[in-house]
Structure 1
Amino acid sequence: MPATPPSQDACAPLPILYRDAALVVVAKPSGLLVHRSALARGETRFMVQTLRDQLGQRVYPVHRLDRPTSGVMVFALSPEVATQLAQAFTQQQIAKRYLAVVRGVGPDAERLDYPLREEDGSRPKAQMPAMPAATEIRRLDSVELPVQVDRYPSSRYSLIEARPLSGRRHQIRRHLSQRGYPIIGDAKHGKGNHNRFFKERLDCPRLLLAAVELRFPHPLEGRQLQVSAPLQEDMQQLFERFGWAAHLPQHDIAWHDTDSPTFATAP
């Protein structure tokens, strides 16, 4: 099924990347909450309700993306399928690929293996146990701009591919920040001066992190379904401006045998 380009219109329907009798895969826009939250009482639009009204049936989220993160999300169309898919996520049977724009020139390839404390807001971080977390990263490209944003006369940024091998909250954002390459637009783990530069000079006021590919075992087909999504327009324009157009992901659907050795598991 062809996808419509991801839209930033607050009232636009969600782009459908794939749909069958069991599930639907959509492209989440940056800034949209997945479901209602006590922390966002003033919000009136949420993915679950929007998709339910768009499809005319109930939908069941089985994983999450942070509010500022855009990209591929899968929803079950029945409680039974939701249970199966949620188990696949819990058991690390999912392969995820993200693209992030970060400050600095990142490493060619590296595994970030930093334990992370859970951030559920129910108790102080110091009381939360540190859980194992691993993310594989790879620098795809970089750019140097003749603009002084920090203390240097020029500013360097990189395009990073990130593949999380575990599912901790804000894992990619926290891992890249700990490694010294904060994601642009990350208000919590990034650097304000670089965030402001992208917002005011490059028309990118958002977190530059996108889930561009998701691969998971289809609960009915007995095969793995892989769905890729294009970037939102603002990130697409930035890639073209930086000369990174060759790295722009496209909408794609592929099926793989269940024994295909592509799933990564947490250590």
Structure 2
Amino acid sequence: MTNNLPVIVFEDDDFVVMDKPSGLLVHPSWLSKNDDDFAVDQMKRYLNVDKIHNVHRLDRPTCGLLLFAKHVDAAQKIGLMFEQNLIEKNYIAICRGWAPSSGEIDYALKPEHDKIANKFSNPVKEAQDALTHFTCLKQSQIEIELNGHPTGRFSFVSIRPKTGRKHQIRRHFKHIHHPLLGDTRHGCNKTNRTLKDRLNWSRLALRANKMQFLHPYSQHLISIEAPRSIEFDFMLNQLDLL
């Protein structure tokens, strides 16, 4: 067992927010056979408690803001706010191609069925409404042979999901033909291989960088922002997107 401690971005009597690194699972699951540390473990070590309440999740490869509740009542209140889409979340990402200056992706998504994690559930489910807003912050074109083209085009985007479906951002950007870089499940494998070979980049270019909500006890507006990581800035610089 490792003794890593989380990078804390926000904390009060009821909630604590960490900056989760890419590759760290939130909690043990069927995916975690070879893992000995999780975000919940790091938070419990930091707070020196036996129990902590994780009220939402980030995919393993996604980095950024991850909120925990310190007690049951706080977990119930903030959990309901997540369910009602009252938590405003913002992400930054790098995608392939030149994304539009701004847009709305209104595309229903069927729940993803995993044969191991969801083996006892019905694999056939109705598609659920899913809505994502985005703004293109910068576009670039660099001299790197990509998918048969002599140059590669990329976009740095800011993303505001209005619903919270599994892999929503990754699936929505695949739908509009601008897959996120480093996405091994919904991205472009050829693009990912080229970037790994030429630029030594293999991580998912998706970061949860902002969160805003009305505190359920004080009713004060809580705005939390995490700076870009060194790894994310490295990729932005390599693709001329800074």
Query: What's the offset of the Cα at 1:230?
Result: 1.3
Name structure 1 gaps, 5 residues minimum. Answer: 1-9, 246-267
Q: What residue number does 1:5 align with? A: none
2:69 is the counterpart of 1:76: yes
Question: Deviation per CA, 1:162-182, whole angstroms, max 9, x where unpaired?
Answer: 100000000000000010000
Give the structure 1 partner of residue 15 of structure 2: 23
1:199 Cα deviation (Å)? Answer: 2.1
2:134 aligned with 1:137: yes
Instruction: Please say if residues 109 and 165 of structure 2, whose CA atoms lie closer than 8 Å, have aligned partners that are also in contact.
Output: yes
- 1:49 equivalent among 28, 38, 41: 41
Map Cα deviations across residues 85-131 of structure 1 (whole Å, 9 max, x no partner).
Answer: 00000001011111111010001111000000012423698611100
The answer (yes or no) to whether the contact 2:4–2:42 under 8 Å persists in 1 is no
**Cα distance in structure 1, aligned partners of 2:26 and 2:64:** 12
Q: TM-score normalised to the size of structure 2? A: 0.92
- Aligned letter for 1:97? N
Write the distance in 2 (CA, Å) between the matches of 1:153 and 1:243.
16
Alignment of 1:163-174 (within 5 A): 163-174=160-171
Stretches of structure 2 lacking an aligned partner (at least 5 in a row): none
Q: Secondary structure at the match of 1:221?
A: coil
State TM-score, norm by structure 1.
Answer: 0.84
Deviation string 1:199-239 (CA, Å, 9 cap, x unpaired) is 23223211000000011221222122110001221111222
Partner of 1:215: 212
Give 2:48's aligned amino acid: G
RMSD after superposition: 1.7
**2:154·2:239 contact (CA, 8 Å) conserved in 1?**
no
Query: What is the total number of aligned residue pairs between the two structures?
Result: 236
Cα distance in 2 between the residues matched to 1:126 and 1:36: 23
The residue type equivalent to 1:193 in the other structure is K
Letter in 2 for 1:179: I
In the TM superposition, residue 244 of structure 1 has moved relative to its aligned partner by 3.4
Cα 1:130–1:14 shift into 2, 3 Å: same
Rounded to whole Å, the distance in 2 between the matches of 1:126 and 1:14 is 36
Residues 3 and 42 in structure 2, CA contact (< 8 A), matched pair in contact too:
no
1:115 alignment counterpart? 108
Q: Kindly provide the amino acid, as one letter, of the partner of residue 88 in structure 1.
A: M
Q: In structure 2, what residue type is equivalent to 1:147?
A: I
Deviates more, 1:202-211 or 1:25-34: 202-211
Q: Distance in 2 between matches of 1:222 and 1:213?
A: 19
Number of the residue aligned with 2:188: 191
Aligned to 1:248: none
Written as runs of structure 1 = structure 2, the 5 A alignment for 1:175-254 is 175-245=172-242
Say which is worse superposed, 69-78 or 145-154, in terms of deviation: 145-154
